[in-house]
Structure 1
Amino acid sequence: MKRREFISLLSGAAAGWPLAARGQQSGRVWRIGYLGFGPASNWTREVEALRSGLRDLGYVEGKNILIEFRWAERADQMHDLAAQLASMKVDVIFAPASTHVESARKVTKTIPIVFATHADPVGLGDVASLSRPGGNITGLSMLLTELSVKELEILREALPHARRIGVLWNPTTPSHPTAIKAIKAASEKLGVELVITPAGTVTEIEKAFSTMTRESVRGVLVLGSPIFNAQGPLLAELQLKYRLPAIFAYRPNVDAGGLMSYGADFSDLYRRAASYIDKILKDAKPADLPVEQASKYVLVINLKTAKALGLIIPPTLLARADEVIED
């Protein structure tokens, strides 16, 4: 081959290199760090909702996206797991609620963080405002203060003669102190006395029910928290053991045997969170993506549990239920 022909051939090959590079770039596999609070089996519905949302946007696991799951069994494990994801340099950290975000924000100021069920993102300082988050954190929110007050009202309607109501809260959930203030104010208008009882671990949950029983409460408001959401069967068992009708923020607690739940549709929020991940992977900045509010709230009543507790649910409350479980 003559020197001139060789140089021409080499130049032609070089011209093709940028195209090849672009082809490889378009075939990039994105990595999502999922920071969860286990057991993982309790979150199957929500995980599938997130995956479904991603599939609808063209992402296929193992082909152009990988999800790195990290499940904490206790709240004090969350920070180390968040640090693991940050050290892996994932493209986005999915941290569903305020408890998860609290840990994730401490380990990175640069990796985008997306939440799905944050209770109070502005009040806790995770975003500057709902319309302009301003940092590396954004997502979807449900205002726990308003939600908890509504749950107290519903429980009071179900238990019209109750004068003492227990409130189960978690000191490790950042949004709970604010929610408790709102509940206290509402309780005065409803004419009920609150017995506010903390539980930050699984062991403390049963102790809390025992304490509330000694304090002669007639029902329990269980504030939404990752640990309580993950302990549906245990809470349902304690509800029956201590004969304390309970209302929850998380619908699967009722599927597990809890009496009632009123709260945002978690599956809907997780599915919508996929759009935030998609926008960020397409170079949108979390600081510029407004926080959206939950739009679907569901009241579910378990009549089988009501019967086991010897409780008659008022017809007016049953008529407002979005779903009634009868067997």
Structure 2
Amino acid sequence: MNKPLVAIVLALVVIGAGAWYFWGASASPKTPTILERATSENRPVRVAIINYLRILEGPNNGLKQGMKALGYEEGKNIAYTSYYGDGNFEKMVADAKDVIQNNKADIIVGNPGEGGQAALQAAQELGSNIPVLYMLSFDPLAMKLINSYQSSGNQVTGVAVDLGYLTGKRLEFLHQIAPNAKKLGIITGVKALDITATKGRDEVMKQAPKFGFEVVEYTVDVLPGPTSDQAVIDVTKKIKAGEIDAFYRMLGPVTSTPGTIAAYAAMGERLKIPTEFFGHEQGSLLNYDNDYDDAGVQLATLVDKVLKGATPTSIPSENARKYILEIDLRVANKIGIKVPDSLLSIATKVTR
């Protein structure tokens, strides 16, 4: 072999070795995904669920169903721990901080948006980048969970609710059932007007006149706690026949407990007026809401992406995709109202 050719070959060998060192030997190893890390540590993926209210178990059940369908078996390769704020935002923040500081979870799910809001606040105060996913936030932008639906700009993604649409449809259906109703009663917990409750009230006030309703508002000046149910119950008992023609349940921790919902149902029956609840609650004539279980299933696909390495900011937030209209004809019979066939024909569920 002649000398020039040998020199060229040696030069190529040196260049190749240098390239291998620069791109191979010196390259940083790939960061393992959450799922890979859990598998290597021979443990399940850990999901902490920060719950605002106990009545919202549907999304949690749906999340578990959705994760199971994706191959995550509870007790085997995934574990869930639920924390309940019972309407107390500070408690949710404290629970989330405990989860983060003591490494109790790989991701945090907030149910609904307030749970995600508390988890994000805790993570930011602790300087943690733990992924946070929210279920059924009525306004993730106002809650500052995300900067935009396309990209949160932080460690958050999730499934949102179009509250403006929901409010309009609820009022529309209520008007169809009781076209002569003019005075729409609402009960508001004014000391516990979080972002969701405020937005819900604003939407009712804005949209009710479109359907011929004048809003009659009753207020409860208490914080969530042992005595708040009784305060709401007392208001329902004081409302007299003729004061309102229909009732619309409001959002908020004071007005969304099993005890208050039972009181609304009893009031509707006593006053012989149609009632509209949500959350698939018993005792109401009309119930229109997102399919909570399906919202959890929907979130499961986002959780799966995060566990497999996607960053939350790269996953667009989604609107809940499925709605349920429930009509209880037993309530209709008790209050003497005939539900139009046009409404019964489109109902998801009719209880007779």
TM-score category, normalised to shorter length: 0.7 to 0.9
Q: For 2:38 and 2:183, how far apart are their aligned partners in 1?
A: 66
Q: For 1:227 and 1:87, how far apart are their aligned partners in 2?
A: 30
Q: For 1:71 and 1:260, how far apart are their aligned partners in 2?
A: 28
Q: Which stretches in structure 2 are left out of the alignment for 5+ residues?
A: 1-35
Q: In the TM superposition, what whole-angstrom CA distance separates every residue of 1:15-43 from its partner, at most 9, and x where no partner exists?
A: xxxxxx9896173422110112454xx55
In the alignment, which residue of structure 1 is the partner of 2:201? 180
Matched, 1:75 2:88: yes
In the alignment, which residue of structure 2 is the partner of 1:156? 175
Q: For 1:98 and 1:211, how far apart are their aligned partners in 2?
A: 33
| 1:52-71 matches, cutoff 5 A | 52-71=65-84
Deviation at 1:45, TM superposition (A): 4.4
Paired residue type of 2:88: A
3-state SS in 1 of match to 2:195: coil
Q: Work out the number of aligned pairs and report it.
A: 301
Paired residue type of 1:36: N
In the alignment, which residue of structure 2 is the partner of 1:87? 101
In the alignment, which residue of structure 1 is the partner of 2:4? none
Bigger Rg over Cα: 2
Q: In the TM superposition, what whole-angstrom CA distance separates every residue of 1:280-305 from its partner, at most 9, and x where no partner exists?
A: 11221111110111121111100001
Which stretch shifts more, 237-246 or 162-171? 237-246
Tell me if structure 1 keeps the 8 A contact 2:138–2:160: yes
In the alignment, which residue of structure 1 is the partner of 2:248? 221
3-state SS in 1 of match to 2:40: helix
Matched, 1:125 2:139: no
Q: Give the TM-score of the pair, scaled to structure 1.
A: 0.82
| 1:134-283 matches, cutoff 5 A | 134-170=153-189, 171-198=192-219, 201-210=228-237, 212-213=239-240, 216-225=243-252, 230-231=257-258, 232-251=261-280, 253=281, 256-283=282-309
Q: For 2:57 and 2:336, how far apart are their aligned partners in 1?
A: 32
Paired residue type of 1:31: R
Q: In the TM superposition, what whole-angstrom CA distance separates every residue of 1:190-219 from its partner, at most 9, and x where no partner exists?
A: 222102334554233323424554880111
Which stretch shifts more, 62-71 or 235-244? 235-244
Tell me if structure 1 keeps the 8 A contact 2:285–2:329: yes
Describe the shift of the 1:257–1:214 C-alpha distance in structure 2 as closer, same or farther (beyond 3 A).
closer
Paired residue type of 2:80: I
Which stretch shifts more, 230-239 or 267-276? 230-239
Matched, 1:32 2:32: no
Q: For 1:215 and 1:81, how far apart are their aligned partners in 2?
A: 46
* Identity across the alignment (%): 23
Deviation at 1:268, TM superposition (A): 0.3
Describe the shift of the 1:223–1:23 C-alpha distance in structure 2 as closer, same or farther (beyond 3 A).
closer
Q: In the TM superposition, what whole-angstrom CA distance separates every residue of 1:219-265 from its partner, at most 9, and x where no partner exists?
A: 111134566555254543443345442112222x0xx2221111111
Of residues 128, 133, 141, the one that matches 1:114 is 133
